[in-house]
């Protein structure tokens, strides 16, 4: 018999399972039951349109059999089964498991997180078993097969005997060790508890023969003689799960705990959800939905591996695991499910996309999410800020993308860090707090709050007592551009040329100084030819000697972001070097200019320009020249 090797990454996962120190090893049962339920779902689905299946809904079941003598635990189902090829593909290659993607190296800490955060599927059996045997017969096939493996060394597939379609998974449990007790998984009470805990809402009955004992009938004589009772054992088939889907129950029957528990079990997220909503929509189409806002972003959330979507059921039958059309991208973090009786069961994925009913449901779900978020923002700010930390970026992308098509819907969900106490504020709060003479909503964009706090360009704005929004995410400034204005107040970058701050006296003064120093500014400009479009005296600087501002549409921060993207076309912001006429450097430059030393003036220009770049967090164009210049002028 040929022993086959696992595919490389399957081997790694298997290895991880075998050596797992994960404390919730018990989840293996949940995984196997859920696989069984999935398999039954598939055959049940078929049975609705295909009489040949010959089974009614009530005939489907998952059976658990524990045998302490042989130390085996068997999970059987009468679902769709697997062909030889499917056995090979599904159990030999874990890449076929939708629930697992390799991200981390083989470090135990992280392994545990992976196991905790996902269902890792079939291989989790190896956390508790030394040998796993799968006997399966695919529906419609007349041959059965047996898959067997003792772990990383590989597996075998042989022909087998099995009467009906379905699958049996037989685990030979590991021996107990000092730290680990595997025998307990053969205990009927433990098994009952686990099914209740993890698989209570599985739609098909999970059955087990449970043994009880009862007192034997006593004869009158024995009773008279007050003989002690004798007990006898008997077995009874019990259904261990309650089956009724949570979302079909009445809201009044359900407690917060039930919803949270359901979430953990269904979405394998051990962090509590921030919020949930149970929607019962009686309109047309009628539907039930359970929606959750997770407490944290899954580790792949901001990668292209992340798949958004809600589970879609048609009257309790799962049609699709991740129906992407039910969620707009900006709410892609929402987890949950939708169950509608008005959706046809036989709908294909392609047709679903064009289904009118589905579109109506999606619209209504979007409204629910949006109003739940707004409610949270209003009533539970702390929680909302937690939400914002996890998923704010996604909302911002939403406001910016599709040419701002959804900006109106999303703008009131946005939060930005304010220069006032560095707390998060909404745009509405900003505008409400605006000073009477304030024309614009000011913002500064850069890598970090610390840096922005020290940005020379903010001096004048702050001096006027205006609040500034600190933007530190790459997408932020693009969001501002897309929004353009909020409640008729335009957004303005603090380094743009027009800040809308009037100070006629100062302006006059600077104008006069500029006239005095035309030559100087010209020489400086010439020295920085190609780098800046002009050199001016600054109206916005208070204490800093120089800064760079920009003319036109592209700011320095946008230049940085755009140029970091993979594209051949590089953009360049139109830079203006501003010199503070109140700083002593101005006097120095002026004196140099008056003395006619334009060569030295040119060197100063380069120094000051580079210094301004440094403050902005931009790359220095020529570090060697800069360093040489410093030494020379020292």
Stretch that binds Mg ion, among 10-18, 30-38, 518-526, 527-535 (CB under 5 A): 30-38
Is residue 273 a contact residue for ligand ADP (CB under 6 A)? no
Stretch that binds ligand ADP, among 79-87, 412-420, 459-467, 552-560 (CB under 6 A): 79-87
Question: Residue 134 region, left (φ>0) first, then alpha (ψ -120 to 50), else beta?
Answer: beta
Number of residues that bind Mg ion (CB under 5 A): 2
Number of residues that bind ligand ADP (CB under 6 A): 18
167 binds, among ligand ADP, Mg ion, none (CB under 5 to 8 A by kind): ligand ADP
Among 82, 165, 319, 445, binds ligand ADP (CB under 6 A): 82
Stretch that binds ligand ADP, among 34-42, 109-117, 237-245, 417-425 (CB under 6 A): 34-42
79 binds, among ligand ADP, Mg ion, none (CB under 5 to 8 A by kind): ligand ADP
Stretch that binds Mg ion, among 88-96, 115-123, 285-293, 493-501 (CB under 5 A): 115-123
Residue number, nearest CB to Mg ion: 121
Q: Which is nearer to ligand ADP, 126 or 470 (CB)?
A: 126
Is residue 493 a contact residue for ligand ADP (CB under 6 A)? no
Terminal alpha carbon distance of the chain? 83
Which phi and psi (to 5°) does residue 205 adopt? Answer: -65, 135
Q: Which is nearer to ligand ADP, 40 or 369 (CB)?
A: 40
Distance between CA atoms of 322 and 335, rounded to whole angstroms?
9
Stretch that binds Mg ion, among 27-35, 249-257, 523-531, 571-579 (CB under 5 A): 27-35
Is residue 47 a contact residue for Mg ion (CB under 5 A)? no
Is residue 128 a contact residue for ligand ADP (CB under 6 A)? no
Helices (H) and strands (E) counted in the chain, each on its own, are 21, 22
Task: Indicate the pairing of strand 144-149 with strand 155-160.
Answer: antiparallel
Q: Rg of the Cα trace of the chain?
A: 34
Among 20, 35, 78, 124, binds Mg ion (CB under 5 A): 35
Is residue 39 a contact residue for ligand ADP (CB under 6 A)? yes
Residue number, nearest CB to ligand ADP: 121
Q: Which is nearer to ligand ADP, 141 or 286 (CB)?
A: 141
Decide: helix, strand or coil at residue 177: coil
Is residue 121 a contact residue for Mg ion (CB under 5 A)? yes
Is residue 79 a contact residue for Mg ion (CB under 5 A)? no
Which phi and psi (to 5°) does residue 248 adopt? Answer: -90, -10
Say if residue 285 is preceded by a cis peptide, omega within 30 of 0.
yes
Among 60, 122, 139, 609, binds ligand ADP (CB under 6 A): 122
Contacts to ligand ADP from residues 497-516, by CB under 6 A: none
Minimal distance, residue 98 CB to ligand ADP, in Å: 5
Task: Indicate the pairing of strand 424-425 with strand 441-445.
Answer: unpaired
Minimal distance, residue 168 CB to ligand ADP, in Å: 8
Give the list of residues 6+ apart from residue 22 with CB closer than 8 angstroms, or none: 111, 112, 115, 116, 127
Among 10, 20, 78, 90, binds ligand ADP (CB under 6 A): 90
Distance between CA atoms of 46 and 81, rounded to whole angstroms?
13
Token reading at 524: 């400086």
Minimal distance, residue 382 CB to ligand ADP, in Å: 36
Q: Which is nearer to Mg ion, 121 or 151 (CB)?
A: 121
Please write down the HEC assignment for all residues of 80-142: CCCCHHHHHHHHHCHHHCCCCCCCCCCCHHHHHHHHHHCCCHHHHHHHCEEEEEEEEECCCCC
Contacts to ligand ADP from residues 585-624, by CB under 6 A: none
> What angle separates helix 598-616 from helix 623-633, to the nearest 10 degrees?
130
Q: Which is nearer to ligand ADP, 125 or 577 (CB)?
A: 125
Minimal distance, residue 466 CB to ligand ADP, in Å: 54
Distance between CA atoms of 156 and 149, rounded to whole angstroms?
7
90 binds, among Mg ion, ligand ADP, none (CB under 5 to 8 A by kind): ligand ADP
Cβ(606)–Cβ(527) under 8 Å? Answer: yes
Dihedral of alpha carbons 499, 501, 506, 507, sign: positive
Q: Which is nearer to Mg ion, 17 or 558 (CB)?
A: 17
Give the list of residues 6+ apart from residue 117 with CB closer than 8 angstroms, or none: 268, 269, 270, 298, 299
Give the list of residues 6+ apart from residue 65 with CB closer than 8 angstroms, or none: 73, 74, 76, 208, 209
Question: Residue 488 region, left (φ>0) first, then alpha (ψ -120 to 50), else beta?
Answer: left
Is residue 31 a contact residue for ligand ADP (CB under 6 A)? yes
Residues in contact with ligand ADP by the rule CB under 6 A: 31, 35-36, 39, 77, 79-82, 90-91, 96-99, 121-122, 167
Residues in contact with Mg ion by the rule CB under 5 A: 35, 121
């Amino acid at each position: 018999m040929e022993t086959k090797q696992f595919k490389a990454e399957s081997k790694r996962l298997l290895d991880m399972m075998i050596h797992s120190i994960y404390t919730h090893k018990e989840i293996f049962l949940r995984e196997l039951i859920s696989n069984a339920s999935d398999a039954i779902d598939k055959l049940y689905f078929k049975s609705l349109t295909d009489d040949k299946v010959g089974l009614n809904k009530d005939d489907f079941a998952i059976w658990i059999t524990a045998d302490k003598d042989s130390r085996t635990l068997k999970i059987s189902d009468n679902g769709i089964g697997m062909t030889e090829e499917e056995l090979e593909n599904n159990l030999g290659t874990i890449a076929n498991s939708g629930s697992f993607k390799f991200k981390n190296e083989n470090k135990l800490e992280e392994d545990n997180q992976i196991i905790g955060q996902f269902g890792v599927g079939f291989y989790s059996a190896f956390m508790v078993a030394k040998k796993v045997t799968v006997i399966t017969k695919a529906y419609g096939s007349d041959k059965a097969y047996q898959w067997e493996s003792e772990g990383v060394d590989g597996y075998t597939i042989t022909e087998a005997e099995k009467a009906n379609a379905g699958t049996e998974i037989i685990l030979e449990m590991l021996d107990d060790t000092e730290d680990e007790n595997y025998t307990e998984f053969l205990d009927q009470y433990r098994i009952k508890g686990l099914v209740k805990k993890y698989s209570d809402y599985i739609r098909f009955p999970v059955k087990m023969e449970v043994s009880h004992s009862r007192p034997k009938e006593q004869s009158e004589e024995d009773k008279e003689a007050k003989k002690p009772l004798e007990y006898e054992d008997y077995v009874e088939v019990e259904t261990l799960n309650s089956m009724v889907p949570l979302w079909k129950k009445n809201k009044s029957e359900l407690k917060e705990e039930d919803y949270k528990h359901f979430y953990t079990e269904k979405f394998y997220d051990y962090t509590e959800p921030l919020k949930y909503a149970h929607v019962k929509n009686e309109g047309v189409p009628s539907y039930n939905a359970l929606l959750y806002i997770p407490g944290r972003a899954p580790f792949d959330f901001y990668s292209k591996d992340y798949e958004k979507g809600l589970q879609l059921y048609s009257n309790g039958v799962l049609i699709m695991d991740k129906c992407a059309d039910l969620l707009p991208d900006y709410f892609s973090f929402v987890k949950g499910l939708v169950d509608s009786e008005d959706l046809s069961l036989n709908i294909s994925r392609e047709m679903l996309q064009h289904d009118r009913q589905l579109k109506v449901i999606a619209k209504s779900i979007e409204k629910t999410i949006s109003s739940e978020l707004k409610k949270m923002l209003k009533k539970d700010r702390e929680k909302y800020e937690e939400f914002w930390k996890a998923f704010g970026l996604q909302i911002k992308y939403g406001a910016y993308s599709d040419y701002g098509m959804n900006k109106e819907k999303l703008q009131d969900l946005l939060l930005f860090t304010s220069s006032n106490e560095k707390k998060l504020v909404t745009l509405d709060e900003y505008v409400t707090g605006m000073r009477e003479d304030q024309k614009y909503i000011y913002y500064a964009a850069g890598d970090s709050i610390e840096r922005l706090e020290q940005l020379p360009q903010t001096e004048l704005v702050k001096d006027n007592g205006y609040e500034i929004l600190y933007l530190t995410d790459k997408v932020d400034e693009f969001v501002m551009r897309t929004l353009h204005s909020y409640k008729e107040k335009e957004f303005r970058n603090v380094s743009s040329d027009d800040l809308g701050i009037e100070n006629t006296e100062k302006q006059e003064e600077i104008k006069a100084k500029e006239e005095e120093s035309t030559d100087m500014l010209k020489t400086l400009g010439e020295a920085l030819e190609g780098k800046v479009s002009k050199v001016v005296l600054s109206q916005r600087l208070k204490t800093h000697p120089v800064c760079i501002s920009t003319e036109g549409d592209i700011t320095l921060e946008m230049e940085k972001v755009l140029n970091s993207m993979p594209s051949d076309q590089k953009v360049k912001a139109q830079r203006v070097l501003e010199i503070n006429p109140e700083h002593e450097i101005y006097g120095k430059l002026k004196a140099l200019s008056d003395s006619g030393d334009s060569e030295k003036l040119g060197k100063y220009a380069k120094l000051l320009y580079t210094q301004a770049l440094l403050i902005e967090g931009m790359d220095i164009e020529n570090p060697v020249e800069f360093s040489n210049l410093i030494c020379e002028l020292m």
